[in-house]
Structure 1
Amino acid sequence: MENTSTRRSGQVLLVWGLLVVAANLRASLTGVGPLLDQVQADLGLAPAVAGLLNTLPLLAFAALSPMVPRLAAKWGADRLLGGALVVLALGIAIRWLPTAVGLFAGTVLIGAGIAVGNVLLPSLIKRDFPTKVGLLTSAYATVMGGVAAVASGVAVPISEFAPGGWSTALGCWVFFAVVAVLLWLPQMRVPRPAAPARGGHRLPWGSGLAWAVTAFMGLQSLGFYVVVTWLPQVFQDNGVSPAAAGWLLFLFQAVAVLTSLAVPGAMRWARDQRTLAASCSAVLFLGYLGLFLAPGWALLWSVVLGLGGGACLVLALAFISLRAQDATVAGALSAMAQSIGYLLAAVGPVVFGLLHTVSSGWRAPLVLMCAAAAAQTIVALLAGRGTVRAAGQVADPVPSPAEQASTRSP
């Protein structure tokens, strides 16, 4: 009885640790956009240089994600995640310094720390809660998105009232990172069984299913970062005030967070996720098409994009765990999907903006997003079923028993 109670307490602490880690994976990024004008004016940065504050973390994700499985195999996933949280806290603290050097150096460290967390969380969920993948993925995506939305909303008020202005608004998130470090310390001391050496740390570049999961992750990431970067400007150019455009972006994120809570229930009743993922991707297509045909209905399209975007984020993260044979393969698949995915996410807003400049309007960029959502709908039919195995093994199109249980677990 005592062992059972201790085990349950350990699992509860682990879940809390995972959720607090998730709370730190977006907040230090989404708070930058609303403050960009202040930062640029105070430090005298050119617009292109200031834009790097949003691009550098995504490039760090793309560059570092493939290295994470080998580092985890060498040092242990729990210790590696603890080290990444320390790097994240250090980066936020350095960015609190109101200098260009501190700003960019801190941003690089933040990108490095988050990159490791992005890759490891799906692997840890697969390892420790193999029958609760859908539920816990939804929980951590909801926490991550909710805190990110709050961070973007409170950034300007904090900069106006707190000593230090924008630097305090960016640096205050160090306290949450320190809390995450402290909550994760017990996990770094828990002995874990060594993962079987079956080549699972090698990225599954030769798996068609892995590429489908990667494409789904990349296309939904591209859509999210295009929306958070450009949606307010699209609305403003169609007659919406800047303040209202900002609230519409908050509405998009709030709807996405609420939608992510409903995904586990939908997954529980499905044999696989093909229909659900394709339907949610089609909702995104409808949102982009609506912006193209009737941009004046800004409120409606903010809600529609939030409905599709929130569900697709949870599904993209869940695919990493559900499609993997075990936790080791989940780490490798996570590294592959997030490396390519965030590379697309970094390129997407740039291409969207270039199309706007070349065409002198938003119609061509929105056609691009409709095409991306259509491609995502097709890819969803491939990524929603099957198993990616360790390097050298054949992918199994039939869901494993653990996968079937995880999609139906309450």
Structure 2
Amino acid sequence: MKLAVVGGGSTYTPELIDGFARLRDTLPVTEIALVDPATDRLDLVAGLARRILARQGHPGRIVATADLDAAVADADAVLLQLRVGGQAARNQDETWPLECGCVGQETTGAGGLAKALRTVPVVLDIAERVRRANPDAWIIDFTNPVGIVTRALLMAGHRAVGLCNVAIGFQRRFAARLGVAPADVHLDHVGLNHLTWERAVRLGGPDGEDVLPRLLAEHGDTIAADLRLPRPLLDRLGVVPSYYLRYYYAHDEVVRELRDKPSRAAEVAAMERELLAMYGDPALDEKPALLAKRGGAFYSEAAVDLAAALLGGGGAPYQVVNTYNDGTLPFLPDDAVIETQAAVGPKGALPLPVAPLDPLYAGLVAGVTAYEDLALDAALRGGRERVFKALLAHPLVGQYAYAEKLTDLLVAHNREHLAWA
């Protein structure tokens, strides 16, 4: 079995390789092709990847290359974890929206739109090359904004499923607090990528006992602290929102915080420099503890489970993924991409039925879905007016004066990545 990782020079990659090594019985990979144009980073990451496999006695082969077509040739699955423009572009996404008093963030709001505009054309080009190499290959998208990118892939007819680590993070933390195995925790996780709520936490499967009330009663303070939201809000909602909901529920507070500290991109860039220096140490043969602070916790377990299920080798029967709505949330178009529990197998991901969504959440989901539709149109066809309309539609922007200024800033900061600008 061959997997290709596009963006293989990412400092995330050792987390992924560690998962492949530990979970070899679930996903028996024989070759992992790491592809990245940044060959200096790629060589460091690939060296550590080989040492991780060797330490754990995994027989798989690591291939490192800048040649995308060679990397995806004969691949059974291709994982996308690229960042167009690198941390420098991310730093811009997180800073210039603050000039209008709007959240600066790499996956939502104006910054998220900028990332989508840079990313969608690149991903679609990669996907076409994957399809030419192997029409039956699955594409697993971990590239943000996952919902928009996954929809672009699906609308172009690719065999694609989107993946995020938010749900598996909640699953693992809830399991630890309940003293049960993660596989015993089934989440009623529903919404859009980076706009989701845990409405129930069931033991044993979709029909198991809901222990969310107990979790909130016994661990509500800790959960609230993790989300950086007030405990009374969780009690009033009776659900656990994704930590990305803080950008909506505490927008102005977040803007004040972002203005008073270095961007997350600056922090990550410094961390990456330190990680790459570690990766160059020939004595290092395991993922360093610092990698846990980089983000992407449990990404490897989620990726292994998803790839194994898609390729027919096992994996968890139900997984939280990004895929077509297809009637699951009746107030959304069928071709909207939602994030929810699905039955995953060689034919793809089929969302499980969900209970009706409370208007408190459905309204926000509908609004952000409309924005994502406009954002994808702007990414596919370009044009200042399409960018403006997407920003005007976003709940974190909304006002026409902000949308006008943010459009100008977005284009100015991303001109080199926008073919139409």
TM-score normalised per structure 1 = 0.28
Greater strand share, structure number? 2
Q: Which has the higher contact order (CA 8 A, sep 6+)?
A: 1
Greater helix share, structure number? 1
